[in-house]
């Protein structure tokens, strides 16, 4: 399994923090069970966001050269 990128970590963390604060303010809960449920929901949402952030694909030298319009294969000879 590949390691998460910095963008995935940043988006996931920001989602957890913002969604936790928003849900706590909107629900106005003060019980321990309510806070635990909201925290679990925020963590699940942050994980979902972190996993759906698009990961940039690495391109090799050949792919970059082909995309730039350089002749390839039999066209070069």
pLDDT in tens, 9-43: 898 999 999 999 999 999 999 899 999 999 999 99
Characterize 13-39 residue by residue with b for buried, 16 or more Cβ atoms within 10 angstroms of its Cβ, and e for exposed: eebbeebbeebbeeeeeeeeeeeeebe
Would 15 be classed as within a structural domain? yes
pLDDT computed for residue 63 by the predictor: 57
Would 24 be classed as within a structural domain? yes
When divided into structural domains, the chain yields a total of 1
pLDDT computed for residue 59 by the predictor: 72
Would 4 be classed as within a structural domain? yes
Print the domain residue range for 11.
1-51
Portion of the chain with pLDDT greater than 90, in percent: 44
More confident position, 16 or 76: 16
pLDDT computed for residue 30 by the predictor: 86
* pLDDT-based confidence at residue 6 (cuts at 50, 70, 90): confident
Would 76 be classed as within a structural domain? no
- For residue 42, how many other CB atoms are within 10 A of its CB? 20
Would 64 be classed as within a structural domain? no
């Amino acid at each position: 399994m590949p390691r998460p990128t910095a963008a995935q970590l940043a988006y996931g963390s920001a989602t957890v923090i913002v969604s936790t604060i928003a849900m706590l303010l909107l629900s106005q809960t003060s019980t321990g069970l309510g806070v635990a449920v909201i925290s679990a929901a925020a963590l699940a949402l942050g994980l979902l966001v972190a996993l759906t952030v698009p990961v940039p694909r690495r391109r090799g030298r050949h792919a970059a050269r082909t995309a730039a319009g350089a002749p390839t294969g039999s066209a070069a000879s």
